[in-house]
Copies of this chain bind each other. A is one copy, B any other.
Amino acid sequence: MAATALTARMFSNAAMQQVFSAENTIQRMLDFEAALAHALAAEDVIPATAPAAIKAACQASRIDQKALAAAARQSGNLAIPLVKQLTAEVAAIDATAARYVHWGATSQDVIDTGLVLQLRDAIALISVELGELADALAGLVHRHRDTPMIGRTWMQHALPITFGLKAAGWLDAVMRHQHRLHDLHQRIAVLQFGGAAGTLASLGNRGLPVADALAHALELQLPDLPWHAHRDRIAECATVFGLLTGTLGKIAGDLALQMQTEVAELAEPVAPGRGGSSTMPHKRNPVACAAVRAAAARVPALVSTMLATMDHEHERALGGWQAEWDTLPEIATLCGAALTQLRDVIEGLQVDAARMRANIDLTRGLVMAEAVSLALAEHIGRSHAHELVEAACQRALAQGAGLLDVLRADPQVTAQLSPQALEKLFEPLSYTGEAGALADRVLAAHRARKR
């Protein structure tokens, strides 16, 4: 067992691990072989009796994985020794059928199509959990539509926003990824079948009909051409996962910043043995956020590998193809793991609205200066209002006093604004502009999507 197995639970999830397990990788290649036999027989290329025996043998449990791995080092890919083992298995059932295993196909046909079948499953898994994340986020937006908090730019307090608006930004991005995944699902589900050099020559004039039947059997599209040396579809899959992981990292980053001891607006869900420290009882380490951020830190470089290795030489690459084999599954796995971890955090997120409210006041009202200035401007003009407020802010900073108190003591201000009016200006929700309306737009889009 490799060391990565120890961290696997942190950086993967069970369902995705299954999709890219050795067992399933083999099974998906065998699914191709079984469907190929079926298609060949349907087009009268091989005897009608062959597919049954081949299909019967196409079970991953029959394959000796250790022997496969050892032989792959010599052959340079998994398909050659897999076909050899499969042929022996078929021969044990039906010696004649064994002659037709892998007929007309090349190694890359079975490896690439097997990968496509795995990616289709991976996308389906991610889509489901992304929907769950969207639902959980929509819940947050709904519950905190009017929960004021401070907006932060450059990691400094700026102006008040609402937590609903912040969460709506997360949800809005997540829904764009749902759209991207949907498109990707359409584009990636494409058969690869070209034979040794992409011409299907060994099938004579039945190449295209067999390809058509094969695509149909696997519920894949038949592309205009075999695409073995053109990796844009495969690389695009990496980029879409990469974009999604980027957004997950952004959200986890926001959460982690809000979970800092000094900020304390959010906390990860509590669970036994989770994020604790025996010697430091006050600690609540955001371990899920760390895992998401770690995944988001790793995926971009892996995506660059997928882009950098698109230059497959001629009709089959010498290095670029082999570089994909572990890289794309790793991207999918990290993306899936980050999604699961983040969904769990959002579903159980602990929100401290009181602390959000209190943090707004950390600058003693300075974040409301713009609101006051605009209110005064209606009475004394924008320019004069701006001067008055700027001077008040400077006094507040110099005296360590609250801006409201400074303004209350300024007769030029009190001449225009009553004490009640002034106080109301320091209500954060009075200055969150379109935050509510914007959150509602996103919630409406979410509802529309689910219909």
Contacts and interface: CB of A to CB of B under 8 A. Distances in A.
A183 B99 CA distance: 47
B227 A160 contact: no
A211 to B, nearest CB: 8
Contacts of A155: 256-257, 259-261, 286, 313-314, 318
A292 B196 CA distance: 23
A308 B315 CA distance: 22
Contacts of A41: none
B207 A229 contact: no
B301 A305 contact: yes
A158 B197 contact: yes
A203 to B, nearest CB: 7
Interface residues of A, number: 178
B370 A279 contact: yes
Contacts of A274: 74-75
A94 to B, nearest CB: 15
A61 interface: no
A299 B245 CA distance: 20
Given A6-B25, A151-B197, A300-B308, 17 more contacts: A75-B274, A76-B287, A99-B383, A154-B287, A156-B283, A156-B285, A196-B370, A201-B433, A232-B247, A246-B307, A254-B313, A260-B263, A262-B262, A282-B366, A293-B311, A301-B305, A303-B303
Contacts of A239: 236, 239-240, 242-243, 303
Given A1-B23, A225-B169, A434-B207, A158 B236 contact: no
A404 interface: no
A376 to B, nearest CB: 13
Interface in A179-221: 180, 183, 195-204, 207-208
A363 to B, nearest CB: 5
Interface stretch (A63-71, A130-138, A413-421): A63-71
Interface in A420-447: 431-435, 437-438, 441-442, 445
B232 A438 contact: no
Nearest to A436: B199
A321 B300 CA distance: 16
A161 interface: yes
Contacts of A327: 298
A196 B158 contact: yes
